């Protein structure tokens, strides 16, 4: 199973690295970072760089696509090279997925029309403007299109995907291998549970 993760300037690192770590651990799975041209791509903090080792043209038919989100989504939704690659590759994928605001890139490529989808809570409702039906869930599966909520949800999405593609035992083995046993120190990971005023503070961090 060959997974392609497209990179674009100012992506959020965990959006890409979370699913990468899960899927790269799976036996028989290969994960490749791709971009319009091979080379380094820097994240939204300007301090972490991942290297795309292949161009879109060199990997036209991956089995799985994982589109990360991040502030760079604002430009990525107008990146015709990326969008056209997504449209053509999607015709042959087994799964086409996104993390966080990466769902807006899928929407810009026309892949979410009429589908339920999720994204980061701060922009979730905006999916409606792009032809999708927003759903406040950690992972949303619509046929072969799978979207994940904000940032850390990409790990959940990748494990879900791995369970569907292989079997529960394999997915569980990977989960144990990476010791994914989340026990957050605060019950503040969702606007539904966060203390009053915290969503506004969180928005300042990501705006």
Q: Answer yes or no: is pLDDT of 120 > 90.
A: yes
**Given a cut of 90, is residue 17 above it in pLDDT?**
yes
Q: What is the CATH number of the domain that holds 74?
A: 3.40.50.880
Given a contact cutoff of 8 angstroms between Cβ atoms, the answer to whether 48 and 13 are in contact is yes
- Quick one: which H or E segment has residue 82? helix 80-90
Q: What is the CA radius of gyration of the chain?
A: 16
Catalytic residues: 100
pTM: 0.97
Instruction: Characterize 184-205 residue by residue with b for buried, 16 or more Cβ atoms within 10 angstroms of its Cβ, and e for exposed.
Output: eeeeeeeeeebeeeebeeeeee
Q: Grade residue 207 by pLDDT with cuts at 50, 70 and 90.
A: confident
| pLDDT (tens digit per residue) in 47-105 | 999 999 999 999 999 999 999 999 999 999 999 999 999 999 999 999 999 999 999 99
pLDDT of residue 69: 98
Give the contacts of 40 (CB within 8 A, at least 6 positions apart).
49, 50, 51, 52
Through-space distance between the first and last CA atoms of the chain, rounded to whole angstroms: 36
How far are the Cα atoms of 11, 30, 37, 101, 194 from residue 189, in angstroms, in the given order?
21, 31, 36, 17, 7
As for how many domains the chain has, the answer is 1
> What is the per-residue pLDDT across 152-179, written as a single tens digit (0 to 9) for each?
999 999 999 999 999 999 999 999 999 9
Q: Please indicate whether residue 19 or residue 207 has the higher confidence score (pLDDT).
A: 19
- The pLDDT assigned to 36 comes to 97
User: What residue numbers bound the domain in which 91 lies?
Assistant: 2-206
How many C-beta neighbours within 10 Å does residue 75 have? 12
Burial of 136 (0-12, 13-18, 19+ CB in 10 A): middle
Q: Mind listing the pLDDT tens digit for each residue in 146-156?
A: 999 999 999 99
SS3 of residue 107 by DSSP: helix
pLDDT exceeds 90 at position 140: yes
């Amino acid at each position: 199973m060959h997974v392609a993760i497209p990179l674009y300037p100012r992506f959020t690192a965990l959006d890409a690295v979370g699913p990468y770590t899960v899927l790269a651990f799976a036996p028989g799975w290969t994960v490749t970072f791709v971009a319009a041209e091979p080379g380094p791509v820097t994240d939204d903090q300007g301090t972490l760089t991942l290297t795309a080792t292949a161009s879109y043209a060199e990997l036209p038919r991956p089995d799985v696509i994982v589109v990360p989100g991040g502030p760079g989504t604002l430009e990525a939704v107008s990146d015709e090279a990326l969008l056209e690659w997504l449209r053509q590759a999607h015709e042959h994928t087994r799964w086409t997925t996104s993390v966080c605001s990466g769902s807006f890139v899928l929407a810009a490529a026309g892949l979410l029309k009429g589908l339920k989808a999720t994204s980061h809570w701060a922009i979730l409702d905006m999916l409606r403007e792009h032809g999708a039906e927003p759903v406040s869930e950690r992972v949303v599966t619509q046929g072969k299109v799978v979207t994940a909520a904000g940032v850390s949800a990409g790990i959940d999405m990748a494990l879900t995907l791995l369970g569907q593609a292989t079997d529960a035992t394999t997915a569980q083995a990977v989960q144990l291998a990476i010791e994914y046993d989340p026990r957050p120190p605060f019950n503040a990971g969702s606007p539904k549970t966060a203390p009053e005023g915290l969503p506004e503070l969180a928005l300042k961090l990501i705006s």
